[in-house]
Amino acid sequence: MISPPAELGAARPPAPRPSLRSSKASPQDEATDTGTVKWSQERRLQFIDFRLQWGGRINRRDVTDFFKISVPQASADIARYAEVAPGNLEYDTSSRTYVATPAYAPHYESSGARQYLSQLLALERQILTSDQAFLAFRPPMASVPLPSRTIEPKTLALLLQSIAERAKLRIRYQSIARDEPQERYISPHAFGYDGVRWHVRAYCHLREGFRDFVLGRILSPGAPVASDVDSSQDREWHTNVDLVLKPDDSLTLKQREGVEIDYGMKNGKVTVPCRQAMLFYTLRTLNFEPNGTPRKGEKQVVIANLADIKSLLPKPGQA
């Protein structure tokens, strides 16, 4: 057990760690009971793990400043982390802070590379603010600029209500297929995102089938009314498709090795699972034509099981 020594900036010596035999947490330290870790402390333990992974160090002030908690509580959190992730940190007397040991291994999935980059991107796109992300250091970055797609809060609220209540909405929808918006009822049951725009997956009572409706093109939605549509009948939404990717045979050995590393392939292949209803968007994102062949000029990867999934390939149409 690591007993937190005094650190620079600490206002007073840390309080003794309460006994782990206690069946109730004190008001000042909510996380010293035996057994399960409370959610609030679990979040702070994830923070400690994240900072050790990506900054190599953590001190009580990091925890108190971020979570606005007391010094004794931060001391208890670091002590608790040392219990749940033994061998991951040690106290460095020269810098008077806790540092990751050479044997450090992330204890939480939230400390992964994908999670780090997701937070970095969310900060750059102003989805998160600096007091919501765990990053201590924010390196310069840029992302592909995208236009802001229109999403009316009222429309989104009515769609959410309709999904929750299994209801239908009367809408006017501006399809690309015609100049004038068309009235129809839709029974929504799910949302989809293709990396650029959001759409709602819904049964179209006009076309008598499940389709995708871009949120920004839904006009004048009315109040939800009862619907008898069973969303389990949306076969494409409930059908999963595995895209098995492999390097293009035209690549050299070294090029294939680079592609395999980049895509995280095992034995020269990687499987990308997706819903059939999202297959069109997935193929487009991966630089494939709707028929599954690589777009012109693209030759990094091909779909190894293309013949097996041919019957599931998308047939794009307008709503």
Of residues 17 and 154, more confidence is placed in 154
Do residues 82 and 89 lie in contact, with contact meaning Cβ atoms separated by under 8 Å? yes
- DSSP bridge partners of 58: 98
Question: Mean pLDDT for the chain?
Answer: 88
Give pLDDT, residue 179.
84
% residues pLDDT > 70 (the chain): 87
Instruction: Please provide the size of the chain in residues.
Output: 319
Q: Answer whether 155's CB lies under 8 Å from 170's CB.
A: no
* pLDDT band of 142, cuts 50, 70, 90: very high
Residue 19 in this model has a pLDDT that exceeds 60? no
pLDDT, mean of residues 96-114: 97
Please report how the helices 71-84 and 60-67 are oriented relative to each other, as an axis angle in degrees rounded to 10.
110
Does the pLDDT value for residue 201 go beyond 60? Answer: yes
pLDDT tens figures, 294-315: 998 888 999 999 999 999 998 7
The arithmetic mean of pLDDT across residues 237-253, rounded, is: 96
95 neighbors 52 (Cβ within 8 angstroms):
no
- The pLDDT of residue 29: 45
Its pTM stands at 0.77
Q: Which residue has the tokens 């969310």?
A: 122
**Chain-centre distance of CA 82, in angstroms?**
28
Q: Which two tokens stand for residue 136?
A: 């201590």
3-state secondary structure of 33: coil
- Note whether 234 and 189 are within 8 A (CB): yes
